[in-house]
A and B are shown apart, each in its own frame.
Chain A
Amino acid sequence: MKLSAIQATEETHAAISDIVNIREQSALHRVMTSQAFWVAAALFALVVFMTWLEPTFGTADNVTNITRNFAPLAIMSLGMTVVIITGGIDLSVGSVMGLVAIVTGLLLTWHHSWYVAFAAGLLAGLACGAFNGFFVAYIGMPSFVVTLGMLSIARSLAVVLSGNQMLYQFGPDAPIVRAIGQAKWPLHPPTGWAPRWMPEFSSHFWVMVILALILGAIFIFTAWARHLYAIGSNENAARLTGVSVDWIKFQAYVFSALTASIASLLLLGYSGSAINAMGTGYELRVIAGTVIGGANLMGGYGTAFGAVIGSAFLEVIRNALLMAGIDSNWQGAFVGMFIVIAVLLGMQTSGTSLVATIREWIVWKRV
């Protein structure tokens, strides 16, 4: 009798400690507390609202446009996410785009085949990434400084190489290059089978989807990604446990440059021309998309889904403002506001919440 009573108290005790202690992370809990989830919800609400307000917003044509517009940014956000997870930043992506476009454009103008030109462009981009990665990972310089330097270097090289001219006489392979950048799937009749209501998604969009799926799988399933997160959270700890910190950080910058190069090639194909100003200011849009998607600038957190959603969100806002007939000069203000709001919302679920901060501030005021 007594024994069972003791057991009973022990059981209640255990139950209490279970409640007091933090709950184990369930999949649902993780999804619900992620910023990307809430941004996705906001995006969905915005889309529904706009479709109701402005019927042209929901048309297949407009969806095709929006998805093609944000895809290059989302592709670069995937690379940026990897860098940001390590606790770094890559300011050079926009300039790398410009350099890649010019290198590829030059080779096309010299009548090389498209794959030679694309390979050379990718190599130029990867070289920029390797430069960034080497100085950040192996020399230990701040990523902000190194990539700021590369921002200037790559853009300058692009201007010099192009002779400050727009390149558009692409030689025999021009149709292939354009086909790569302008391809769509699925197509409407008469050429395709897709019903009218279905958007014809651009090649940009599909490349983004494939890259996002690959990166998402890497984040979930590989030790490499786990090391990436560990580096972002506690670089010293990762080093002490035998993780090859320098090598992984190096790879992160190369990957970011790779995504910038891919985005550049797609845009080059789409416009059928190469200008040295391609990607100017993109670094900030990419960082904005990445941060809105929930990546933590302090390192240690970020997802592939978030990168895509964040970029999509920015583009939908831009498009919605346009559709609603608001002066396009307002776009910057709205986008800036949403960056702050998104991060603020993200802090409700991790870190200090706004409510707690205000409460503390009031208490402090009283004292």
Chain B
Amino acid sequence: MALLDVRSISKSFGAIRALHDVSFSVDAGEVVGLMGDNGAGKSTMVKLIAGNFPPSEGAIVVDGKACHFHRPIEARAEGIEVVYQELALADNLTAAENVFLGREIKKGFWPLRILDKQSMIRRAGELFDELKSETRPRDLVKKMSGGQRQAVAIARARLSNAKLVLMDEPTAAISVRQVAEVLELIRRLKSSGVSVMLISHRMPDVFTVCDRIVVLRRGSKVADKETAKTSPEQITGLITGAIREA
């Protein structure tokens, strides 16, 4: 059974039809690339799965359970975490503080419930170790490289034992060396049994880590192929519309 099953989803905003009858699935521990040109409906798809708004038609099934998300927190409760493109991190806080933002570990009892900083620092350290990232829990995020920031964002997702991590353009604005770091992080997530949906424009990245590639064009799915059975040329053709369907 698939972890995430997207069934005949359509989404309209007034007269604009962003998605039309899209179906695909993501298995446990699978890395699926979601590709498409600007305006193809990728962001809408991500927002639907992340629970920002419900679909107009169709269903999102997580672990065999039909879900109707209205708010991101509902999707999070089902084990879906999003690593946003703009990296939802607070620069003035440390790595550990960011990992635990909004779900701090506390000790003591009311009215003296205080932060358990040591536990959070230790746990964040463990998460970074698991991700084999050179990120230290006490460092300020402000001073971190793009790769380290990604590690913090991914550690956030790991903390909640997410089943599916959506990554929106994680390699868009970072250096070559950092891209390698991020791809390594994705592999680590996969090897620990977490499914990843990678939304990216960068063909090499998608081909390096993804098991399968789903291509959207003008709101419809035009391809759903195993990476091994396709090529960057074919995917490019599908994205631009030079190849109609595959």
Contact = CB atoms under 8 A, between A and B. Distances in A.
A218 to B, nearest CB: 10
B102 A243 contact: yes
Contact of B106 (A25, A223, A243): A223
B104 interface: yes
Question: Top 7 nearest A-B pairs by Cβ distance?
Answer: A237-B88, A221-B114, A241-B102, A230-B90, A233-B90, A240-B88, A242-B102
A17 interface: yes
A226 B90 CA distance: 10
Q: Is the interface of B mostly helix, strand, loop or mixed?
A: loop
A232 B91 CA distance: 10
B174 interface: no
A310 interface: no
Interface string B47-83: 0000000000000000000000000110010000010
A222 interface: yes
Nearest to B99: A241
A277 B245 CA distance: 76
Contacts of A301: 92
A237 B97 CA distance: 13
B138 A241 contact: no
Contacts of B104: 223, 226
A240 B157 CA distance: 12
B132 interface: no
Contact of A230 (B73, B76, B93): B93
Interface of A: 17, 21-22, 24-25, 221-223, 226-227, 229-230, 232-234, 236-238, 240-243, 300-301
Contacts of B84: 240
A242 B93 CA distance: 16
A301 B101 CA distance: 17
A362 B72 CA distance: 49
Given A226-B97, A242-B76, A25 B92 contact: no
The bracket for how many chain B residues form the interface is 20 to 34
B91 A24 contact: no
B233 interface: no
A233 B101 CA distance: 13
Contacts of A234: 88-91
A242 B86 CA distance: 16
Contact of A238 (B94, B101, B106, B139): B101
B143 A22 contact: yes
B145 to A, nearest CB: 9
A229 B93 contact: yes
A156 B34 CA distance: 59
A233 B92 contact: yes
16 contacts: A17-B134, A24-B139, A25-B94, A221-B115, A223-B115, A229-B90, A229-B93, A232-B92, A236-B86, A237-B87, A237-B89, A240-B72, A240-B88, A242-B73, A242-B103, A243-B102
Contact of A300 (B91, B136, B156): B91
Interface of B: 72-73, 76, 82, 84, 86-94, 97, 101-104, 106, 113-115, 134, 136, 138-140, 143, 156
Contacts of B134: 17, 21
Contacts of A229: 90, 92-93
A241 B101 contact: yes
Contacts of B91: 233-234, 300
B210 to A, nearest CB: 25
A241 B73 CA distance: 9
A118 to B, nearest CB: 23
Nearest to B72: A240
Contact of B92 (A221, A223, A227, A300): A300
Contacts of A243: 101-102
Contacts of A233: 90-93
Nearest to A296: B92
Instruction: Specify which of A232, A233, A240, A301 lies most central, judged by the most chain B CB atoms within 10 Å of its CB.
Output: A240
B138 A24 contact: yes
Nearest to B105: A223
Instruction: Specify which of A24, A230, A243 lies most central, judged by the most chain B CB atoms within 10 Å of its CB.
Output: A230
B101 A25 contact: no
B106 to A, nearest CB: 7
Contacts of B87: 237
Contacts of A21: 134
A25 B139 contact: yes
Contacts of B113: 222
